[in-house]
Amino acid sequence: MKRISSLLAAVSLPLFLTGCLFDNDDDAPTVEPPPPPEFANVRVIHAASDAPLVNITANDAILNGLESVDYQVASSRFEVETGTYDIGVTAILPGENAEVLQADVTLEADMNYDVFAVGSVADDSLMLLPVTSEETAVEAGNAQVQIVHAASDAPTVDIYVTAPGAALADEQPLATAAFMDATGLVQVPAGDYQIRITPAGSTDVVFDSGTVALADGADLLVAATNNVGSGDSPVTLLVADGTSAVKLWDADATADIRVVHGISDAPAVDVIANNAVTLVDALAFPAATGYLSVAPDDYLVDVVADADNSVVAIDDAAITLETGMSYTAIANNTLAAPELDLLADMPRRVATEARVRIVHASPDAGSVDIYVTADGNIDSVDPAFAGVDYTTDALAETGYVGLAAGEYVVTVTAAGTKQPAIETGLLMLEAGSLYTAIAVNGSMEAAPPQLILMDDF
């Protein structure tokens, strides 16, 4: 466990000699050494689903390296010297950051402090939730669990922790918890369990972990958080063991994938998985599907002519789709040399910003500069992204860029020039929205590149 003896700086205590250098007086005062410091255990969890990345401070200094902390991330558990600290949460915003939460927290020796950022930015319910417990050793043969309801979108729930397959009608919930409630530390024999969550007083399961193993000696914090991934469950469990944290998805959670036809000289296509399942039928350039829910798995994907499935453009492209994740598959390049690229999407919406992603899938455009301006005038403006190349190894993209809400023009030029190849016109971007633009070849030979606009465009 990492120990921080001071959050701000190490304190050096000078030693002073009393009396004459050669004085052997037995009555000289005795200097008592200071008592050894005492420590508390601290962990910080970002559980506010529409909040941006944040920095965590204590007495106005970054706490234990906690910068740019994302949603559903829990820090390791670390030791902090006892005392009272001004804990702050600074939101990373487009333009200028701002402290959005503050609390004075007194840390006592041998106590655990799990500090959650919970609630919602959109409805002004964002707050700090400290969850405390006394440091307790896990008995041999047991696992120790503490459960926190940190999902602001979920109602009061019953939480069942049972043997796998046990009938809920025959079981009592481990806890009934409203938002921001927490159990104490609960020790159970190590082994296999099933965690199920229902609305309070009901046996209708809204989250089912399937079989999970609680290891001998495990000391776990389990937090219900708003689900921002795929699947129908309203919650995802965040499981932290003091060193790292993982997301525990509902057993029925899927993966989501959408497909973009970005090959300008190709006909309408079908997309077939594992030579058996038609995921997409008759998709023409430059169209895109909505998200399709599929089982998480490894797939071999064929892209074939819709008019004649024996005409194969892309054969056995290997992709892996993981539970809870969303993806965009882009067929790109030319019919003579087709490519299929899989991009991981981040569909979480952030209330303080518009999130924009631009993907370069136009081989005709070559290396480009991308400008994002208020009025489209790029004469005296540096590109937001310079020298972005079309590549066949992996499509170049900007990632998700947070912009303040407002009107913007996206302009794409050949790298090093100011001559627009693509210009969107004035776009109104709203906070809490997602915008994806994919640059592809023009619809006809020698036509300029164009943008496929997706999500909230």
pLDDT digits (tens, 9 = 90+) for 270-312: 999 999 999 999 999 999 999 999 999 999 999 999 999 999 9
Q: How far apart are the C-alpha atoms of 222 and 276, rounded to whole Å?
A: 39
Omega within 30 of 0 (cis) for the link into 286: yes
Q: What is the pLDDT along the chain (457 residues), one digit of tens a residue?
A: 544 444 333 333 333 333 433 345 556 778 888 889 999 999 999 999 999 999 999 999 999 999 999 999 999 999 999 999 999 999 999 989 999 999 999 999 999 999 999 999 999 999 999 999 999 999 999 999 999 999 999 999 999 999 999 999 999 999 999 999 999 999 999 999 999 999 999 999 999 999 999 999 999 999 999 999 999 999 999 999 999 999 999 999 999 999 999 999 999 999 999 999 999 999 999 999 999 999 999 999 999 999 999 999 999 999 999 999 999 999 999 999 999 999 999 999 999 999 999 999 999 999 999 999 999 999 999 999 999 999 999 999 999 999 999 999 999 999 999 999 999 999 999 999 999 999 999 998 889 999 999 999 9
Report whether 314 contacts 303 (CB < 8 A).
yes
Nearest CA to 348 among 424, 247, 280, 425? 247
**Sequence-distant contacts of 341-346: CB under 8 A, at least 24 apart:** 341/394, 341/395, 343/395, 343/397, 345/256, 346/400
Q: How far apart are the C-alpha atoms of 143 and 220, rounded to whole Å?
A: 8
E-assigned strand segments in 190-291:
191-199, 207-214, 219-226, 235-240, 245-248, 255-261, 269-273, 277-283
Pairing of strands 39-46, 73-74: antiparallel
Q: How far apart are the C-alpha atoms of 383 and 387, rounded to whole Å?
A: 9
E-assigned strand segments in 54-156:
54-58, 61-62, 73-74, 78-81, 83-91, 98-107, 111-118, 127-134, 142-149
Q: How far apart are the C-alpha atoms of 395 and 308, rounded to whole Å?
A: 28
Q: How far apart are the C-alpha atoms of 260 and 285, rounded to whole Å?
A: 8
Instruction: Please report how many Cα atoms fall inside a 13 Å half-sphere around the Cα of residue 27, on the Cβ side.
Output: 0
- Residue 27 burial (CB < 10 Å; 0-12/13-18/19+)? exposed
Interacting residues of 165 by C-beta distance below 8 A, sequence separation 6+: 194
Report whether 435 contacts 424 (CB < 8 A).
no
Encode 86-115: b = buried (16+ Cβ within 10 Å), e = exposed: ebbbbbbbbeeeeebbeeebebeeebbbbb
Q: How far apart are the C-alpha atoms of 132 and 380, rounded to whole Å?
A: 55
Report whether 180 contacts 221 (CB < 8 A).
no
Nearest CA to 50 among 324, 455, 355, 328? 355
* Model confidence pLDDT, tens digit, residues 178-206: 999 999 999 999 999 999 999 999 999 99
**The token pair that represents 214 in the structure block:** 């609680």
* Model confidence pLDDT, tens digit, residues 249-267: 999 999 999 999 999 999 9
Indicate if the alpha-carbon torsion angle 328, 332, 338, 339 is positive or negative. Answer: negative
Q: How far apart are the C-alpha atoms of 206 and 203, rounded to whole Å?
A: 9
Return the amino acid letter for 219.
Answer: D
Nearest CA to 425 among 440, 411, 438? 411
Return the amino acid letter for 369.
Answer: D
